[in-house]
Amino acid sequence: MKHAQSKDQGKDHSEDQGWDIKIDTPEDAQRMARVGAYAGYSYTLITTLLAGMGMMAGLSQMGKMPEIDPEMVTQQGGAILGLLVRFVLYWALSWRTYSGKGIIAAPLLLVLIVAEILFAVFALVSNGVVPGLLLIIIAAVVGFVLVAGVKGNWANRAFRKGVKI
């Protein structure tokens, strides 16, 4: 019995903490902020590349048409411009999160990614199952990691103000 009891005492009870992320020092807070920023950078690059490849496929089909429709060219140009604006916005929010001063940027990036998840769910019906599911999986994983970035940025702010966490 003593052997079983001592075995239990040395056991790590980390599974009891669940999803709670312990941040005890400013270094822990900065590390969590950077983890969230890396998730934002990754999400931005992956989804921009996937959307860009989809647009290039559409543009290659336009070249095979006997007559190019000016309205279609305008729509494709608007889509490319929108993708570039989205890329710059997400990259800037990720950079601000990385700096540890993303008190607004980190939650905003998380909200934008959740909005994209919801959009993917609703677009799943019209665009096909595979692209929608791929975006949902990528966004869900990045969203969970971004929660650490949000918590790290808020902890950074608390440490700067001298508040005990």
pLDDT of residue 5: 47
The answer to the question of residue 12 being in a domain is: no
What is the average pLDDT across 158-165?
81
Structure tokens of 3? 């052997």
pLDDT tens digits, 12-38: 444 445 566 788 888 988 999 999 999
Nearest one of 77, 76, 78, 83 to 47, comparing CA atoms:
83
Query: How many independent structural domains does the chain possess?
Result: 1
Considering the chain, what is the average pLDDT of its residues?
A: 79
CA distances from 36 to 31, 93, 111, 157 (A): 9, 11, 13, 15
| Residue 50 placed within a domain | yes
Q: What is the pTM of this model?
A: 0.74
Q: Is residue 15 part of a domain?
A: no
- Give 3-state DSSP helix, strand, coil % of the chain, rounded to 5: 80, 0, 20
In a domain? residue 140 = yes
Q: What is the pLDDT of residues 105-130, one digit of tens each?
A: 999 999 998 888 777 777 765 566 66
Flag whether 39 is in a domain.
yes
SS (H, E, C) 33-82: HHHHHHHHHHHHHHHHHHHHHHHHHHHHHHCCCCCCCHHHHHHHHHHHHH
Residue 57 has pLDDT above 50, yes or no: yes
Does residue 155 contact residue 29 with C-beta atoms inside 8 Å? yes
| 54 occurs within a structural domain | yes
At 81 the pLDDT is: 92
Per-residue model confidence (pLDDT) at position 22: 80
Q: Which amino acid type is present at position 88?
A: V
Minimal CA–CA distance to 155: which of 16, 21, 19, 17?
A: 21
- Give the residue numbers spanning the domain of 77: 26-161
- What band does 87 get if pLDDT is binned at 50, 70 and 90? very high
